[in-house]
């Protein structure tokens, strides 16, 4: 490494707004700059390549190639990718290479990124950018932190980063300062967009602005609101990721991040509107540049009105449905009414970023009705919206799966007609898990088998079904065992000790739904989950589905608004089972997600959960292809 920092080669991971500003200012001094960005591989990369060519920036194809040739690596990506970048760069770093992490990540994420870099022989420095970059460019006020911050600070000053100062040698201090500030700053942006847009809808915006001006006379609220709207519209996606890291910081302090999490949802919601073109085309001169916030508020209201028109007879003001739940207008046909407050399945799920391997199986999903054709059972505990086979197969194709395993829903009781109809319509691309009674005939079992049924489900969740005597269930298991079927069991984690002897006496393969519903607020190596792991260790006929994080998560973040790290608190539990029992795990969407109460996940983002729990291509193939094929289509192996 040269003694003169201006003779260094600086590598930029991320060539977005911040990366390009850094590149311009360094290249103006003659500093050698290289960059890599995931967007370079698709149509989004054209303006980046044009910019790089204009400023003499070398573009490289991988993190490793960038790291191997750099004296200073600057990580300027989205908040959730801080650790990902560190992991990708670390193996290729030369001894002593500085890694400056300017991402708005939580202290915990920064500490983990530092561990990865320092163990590889690099020198990690955290950086907390304390205000907007464009007005200051590389002179932006920045707090540095970590054991190597003091060593890097003079070099940064020589390169023109005049706003940098060392905050603490202890990692996480600079990040915590930025995160706690963002609760206020990014939170205020979200609040202004929400408050002013609602006020505009109600026709009281002038009164609201006047009241704020009186309470906070030092703020030009008209100008500030215009700026806030501009920033959220243009950078809402990135800000939402930062606010999820802020929420994680608040959690690390032992607080529930109600404000930070809500701000993340609002920022991401506006980003969704921008992606749909509600504010015009990105990249055009007028995009997110209106000097009057009312113009943008009216665009928001127009989009809301178009997507959620007022119901007949409704009187204004009318608010849109909450984020994460579709308008509750999907029908339940026949002589049925949906359970009050029922959340319908997610409208227009995103296309997953994670591409499932060829032949992948969605091994846990349902069909509901339609009620006019396949009536719901009189003994049901809930009445859903219709969710028929056509919608299920469309979702299968959209997400990239090849097959489904359809599990009989409790709202249909032991009437398996909807399930059988879907399996037959799939033309061999679906298998079924049925519900049967003790008095089921041999002919009926043969008919179910011919349709594609390969298992029965025993449900022990008391809020969903009435109690069935265990001797009756054992008789059913004995009847289906000669067919090569298995038993799927659904229960709460606290009930495993009571059910242990019954489960271990079953004469079939036993598949546990949703990891036995662990309490993810407890340690992954705590006694409750250790009991479940021992259950699988001691009985090799026991499998587990590592599905339904949306049901198990306590702290999120939710699979909504592009979130790529959803349900983080569930990941360690599912990952442990996948890595400990790679040949006995299954995954499914659980579409259409019956009985969720607080949000309805985007199924595309649920698919993006998979690589967090199955971290290699081999584990992903076992989870999604090999294991379900062995259990449900053994004749094709």
DSSP for 461-526 reads -TTTS----HHHHHHHHHHHGGGT-EEEEE--GGGHHHHHHHHHH-SS-EEEGGGG---TTS-TTS
Token pair of 357 as six digits:
């391997």
Looking at residue 327, what is its pLDDT? 38
* Predicted confidence (pLDDT) at residue 230 exceeds the cutoff of 90: yes
Mean pLDDT on 197-208 = 95
CATH class of the domain defined by 177-307:
mainly alpha
Task: Dig out the tokens for 164 from the structure.
Answer: 């940098």
Write the CA distances from 456 to 247, 431, 482, 489, 497, integer angstroms.
Answer: 41, 12, 13, 9, 22
Tell me the sheet residues that pair with 456.
434, 487
Q: Rounded CA gap, 180 and 169, in Å?
A: 19
3-state secondary structure of 5: helix
pLDDT of amino acid 597: 87
Could you write out the DSSP letters of every residue in 582-602?
A: TTSEE----TT-TT--S----
Instruction: Give every strand in the sheet of 361-365, ordered side by side.
Output: 361-365, 403-407, 430-434, 453-459, 486-490, 510-512, 542-545, 585-586
Question: Would you state the pLDDT for residue 326?
Answer: 42
Q: Which residues of 527-565 are buried (b: 16+ CB within 10 A; e: fewer)?
A: ebbeebbebbeeeebbbbbbbbbbbbbebbbbbbbbbbb
Please tell me the least confidently modeled range out of 92-101, 330-339, 511-520: 330-339
Q: Provide the percentage of residues in the chain whose pLDDT is more than 70.
A: 96
What is the distance between the alpha carbons of residues 292 and 282, in angstroms, rounded to a whole number? 18
Q: What is the pLDDT of residues 614-636, one digit of tens each?
A: 999 999 999 999 999 999 999 98
- Give me the numbers of helices (H) and strands (E) for the chain, helices first please: 24, 16
- Spell out the residues 6+ positions from residue 254 whose beta carbon is closer than 8 angstroms to its own: none
List the chain domain ranges: 5-171, 177-307, 361-636
Sign of the C-alpha dihedral, residues 603, 604, 607, 609? negative
CA nearest 556: which of 268, 178, 270? 268
If one compares 562 and 30, the residue with the highest pLDDT of the two is 30
pLDDT digits (tens, 9 = 90+) for 467-497: 788 999 999 999 999 999 999 999 999 999 9
Q: What six digits make up the tokens of 92?
A: 């290729």
* Confidence at residue 314, expressed as pLDDT on a 0 to 100 scale: 42
Query: Model confidence over 182-202: pLDDT tens digits?
Result: 999 999 999 999 999 999 999
**Which CATH class, in words, describes the domain spanning 361-636?**
alpha beta
- Rounded Cα distance between 539 and 516, Å, is 15
DSSP annotation of 45: G
CB atoms within 10 A of CB 591: 25
Those residues whose C-beta lies under 8 Å from the C-beta of residue 297, and which sit 6 or more positions away, are 193, 196, 197, 200, 205, 229
Reported pTM: 0.58
Q: Are 605 and 559 in contact (CB under 8 A)?
A: yes
- The answer to whether residue 37 is catalytic is no
| Sheet architecture: strand order including 32-36 | 58-59, 32-36, 9-13, 72-75, 98-101, 123-129, 142-145, 164-168
Q: Give the model confidence (pLDDT) of 510-562 as tens digits.
A: 999 999 999 998 899 999 999 999 999 999 999 999 999 999 998 888 998 88
| Contacts (Cβ under 8 Å, ≥6 apart) of 393 | 404, 425, 426
**Phi, psi (degrees; rounded to nearest 5) at 454:** -135, 15
Residue 126 phi, psi (nearest 5): -85, 150
Rounded Cα distance between 637 and 624, Å, is 15
| Mean pLDDT over each residue of the chain, to the nearest integer | 91
Least reliable range by pLDDT among 69-73, 309-313, 365-369: 309-313
- Looking from the CA of 560 toward its CB, the CA atoms found within 13 Å total 26
Give the contacts of 495 (CB within 8 A, at least 6 positions apart): 460
Q: Which of 9, 13, 124, 123 shows the shortest CA–CA distance to 63?
A: 13
- Point out the catalytic residue in the list 590, 602, 603, 608: 590
Contact (Cβ atoms closer than 8 angstroms) between residue 603 and residue 612:
no
CATH superfamily of 5-171: NAD(P)-binding Rossmann-like Domain (3.40.50.720)
State the pLDDT confidence band at 405, using cuts at 50, 70 and 90. Answer: very high
CB neighbourhood size of 621 (10 A): 18
């Amino acid at each position: 490494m040269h003694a003169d920092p201006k003779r260094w080669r600086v590598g930029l991971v991320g060539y977005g707004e911040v990366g390009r500003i850094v590149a311009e200012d360094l290249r103006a001094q003659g500093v050698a700059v290289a960059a890599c960005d995931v967007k370079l591989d698709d149509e989004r990369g054209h303006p980046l390549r044009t910019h790089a060519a204009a400023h003499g920036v070398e573009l490289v194809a991988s993190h490793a190639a960038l790291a191997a040739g750099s004296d200073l690596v600057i990580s300027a990506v989205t908040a959730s990718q801080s650790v990902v970048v560190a992991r990708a760069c670390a193996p290729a770093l030369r001894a002593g290479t500085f890694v400056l992490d300017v991402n708005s990540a939580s202290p915990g994420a920064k500490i983990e990124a530092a561990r990865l870099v320092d163990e590889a022989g690099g020198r990690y420095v955290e950086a907390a950018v304390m205000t907007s970059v464009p007005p200051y460019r590389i002179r932006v006020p920045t707090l540095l932190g970590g054991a190597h911050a003091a060593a890097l600070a003079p070099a940064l000053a020589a390169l023109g980063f005049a706003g940098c100062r060392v905050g603490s040698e202890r990692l996480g201090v600079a990040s915590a300062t930025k995160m706690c500030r963002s609760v206020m700053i990014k939170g205020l942006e979200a609040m202004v967009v929400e408050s002013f847009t609602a006020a505009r809808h109600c026709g009281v915006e002038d009164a609201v602005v006047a009241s704020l001006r009186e309470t906070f006379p030092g703020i030009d609220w008209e100008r500030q609101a215009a700026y806030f709207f501009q920033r959220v519209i243009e950078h809402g996606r990135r800000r939402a990721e930062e606010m999820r890291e802020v929420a994680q910081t608040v959690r690390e302090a032992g607080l529930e991040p109600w404000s930070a999490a809500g701000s993340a949802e609002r920022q991401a919601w506006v980003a969704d509107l921008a992606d749909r073109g509600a504010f015009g085309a990105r990249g055009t001169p007028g995009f997110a540049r209106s000097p009057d916030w009312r113009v943008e508020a009216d665009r928001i209201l127009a989009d809301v009105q178009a997507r959620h028109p007022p119901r007949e007879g409704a009187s204004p003001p009318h608010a849109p449905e909450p984020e994460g739940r579709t308008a509750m207008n999907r029908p339940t046909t026949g002589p049925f009414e949906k359970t009050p407050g029922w959340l319908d399945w997610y409208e227009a799920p995103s296309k997953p970023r994670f591409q499932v391997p060829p032949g992948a199986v969605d091994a846990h999903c349902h069909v509901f009705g339609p009620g006019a054709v396949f009536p719901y059972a009189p003994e049901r505990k809930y009445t859903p919206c219709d969710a028929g086979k056509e919608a299920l197969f469309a979702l299968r194709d959209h997400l990239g799966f090849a097959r489904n395993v359809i599990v009989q829903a409790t709202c249909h009781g032991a009437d398996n007609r909807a399930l059988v109809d879907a399996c037959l319509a799939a033309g061999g691309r679906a298998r079924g898990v049925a519900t049967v009674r003790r008095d089921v005939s041999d002919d009926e079992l043969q008919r179910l088998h011919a349709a594609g049924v390969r298992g029965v489900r025993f449900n022990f969740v008391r809020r969903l079904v009435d109690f069935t005597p265990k001797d009756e269930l054992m008789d059913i298991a004995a009847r289906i065992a000669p067919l090569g079927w298995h038993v799927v069991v659904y229960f709460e984690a606290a009930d495993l000790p009571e059910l242990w002897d019954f489960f271990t006496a079953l004469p079939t393969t036993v598949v546990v739904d949703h990891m036995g519903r662990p309490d993810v607020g407890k340690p992954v190596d705590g006694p409750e989950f250790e009991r479940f792991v021992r259950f699988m260790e001691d009985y090799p006929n026991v499998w587990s589905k590592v599905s339904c994080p949306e049901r198990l998560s306590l702290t999120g973040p939710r699979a909504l608004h592009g979130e790529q790290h959803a349900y983080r608190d569930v990941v360690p539990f599912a990952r442990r089972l996948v890595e400990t029992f790679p040949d006995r795990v299954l995954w499914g969407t659980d579409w259409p997600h019956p009985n969720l109460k607080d949000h309805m996940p985007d199924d595309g983002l649920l698919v993006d959960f998979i690589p967090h729990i199955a971290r290699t291509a081999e584990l992903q193939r076992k989870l999604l292809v090999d294991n379900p094929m062995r259990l449900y289509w053994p004749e094709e192996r």
